[in-house]
Amino acid sequence: MSPPTENAPGSEQSLHASQAQLSLYARDLKAVVAAEQEKSQALEAANHQLKVYARDLRAALEAQRCKTNDLENAYLDSVRRLILASQYKDEETGAHIVRLSHYVKALALHLKWESSAVDLLFAAAPMHDVGKIAVPDAVLLKPGPLDKGEWKVMKGHTTYGASLLQGSSSPLLELGREIALNHHERWDGSGYPSGLRGEEIPLSARLLIVADQYDALRSERPYKSAFDHPHARHIILIGDGRTLPQHFDPDVLQAFNDIGPQFEAIHARRGTRSVLSGIKFSDHAGIVRALRWGEEPCPTMGKPYRTREAASPLRHDHRARG
């Protein structure tokens, strides 16, 4: 048995001191752990509450979106009916606006527009002549030349259309208003109603005027026969004294030249189809998807309705005006 060392009492005191210190550490650590547990519980409670708030907010936003969609659908239905009414006033309008949507879509795709913007333009293009609903039949359907006063009234269809479509927060209706107001403006400033020049003219309208002019040249009128594609193309690209290439945005004109065969095919394929069979303007879910740039339609909207095609009771032999 080894004899006790001389410093054994001191070692024992040191051990007691260490144990006391460790006890303090343990107590402090326990307090820290308890505090952290309280913080963790508080964070979990806050996180749960935030999830509840987020769920309620999503529900409120969805309800508001559905309400907005319902209002937009009601307004869009009114616009659709105005376009249909314009078809009854002008037999050519129905097939014309179908073709126009496809012409501008082809141009926009060639110019590398984003697909959502192309879809919006496709849906808005039929609104370009909605203002003709306000033009008297005596002017709109007159088979002979318009006098100065009648021509002034006819030009007013641009501002009439813009007035019908203004004041909406809908991107679709705003684009329709932009097109209705500006689709007769010319690159060289000789157009109407404002005499805008160059890039002052919205790009949507710069596409529309090329498509509109092409289709007018391809269409039969009391005062002229329908031109074939090569003739219409020549007039737009070279000019005939009345229509001049400087009327059009050079980039859009080049795009038209590049995809001329597509224009010819669209006219051949859609020459006799009604507006209601050519575009899904009565498909409310589709319109809302265009309006919302890709969002899913509101689940409470219901099914798209179908409208029966009807032949126009008006059988006038007249020219398309404006």
Tokens of 16: 């007691």
- Provide the strand spans (E) within the chain: none
CA 179 – CA 175 distance, rounded (Å): 6
CA 155 – CA 189 distance, rounded (Å): 15
Query: Which candidate in 51, 132, 152, 155 is catalytic?
Result: 132
Alpha helices, DSSP H, located in the chain: 8-89, 91-110, 115-124, 137-140, 148-155, 157-165, 171-182, 203-218, 229-238, 250-258, 260-269, 275-278, 284-291
CA distances from 177 to 18, 136, 161 (A): 85, 21, 7
Active site includes 152? no
CA 96 – CA 129 distance, rounded (Å): 10
Helices and strands (H and E) in the chain: how many: 13, 0
Positions annotated as catalytic residues are 132
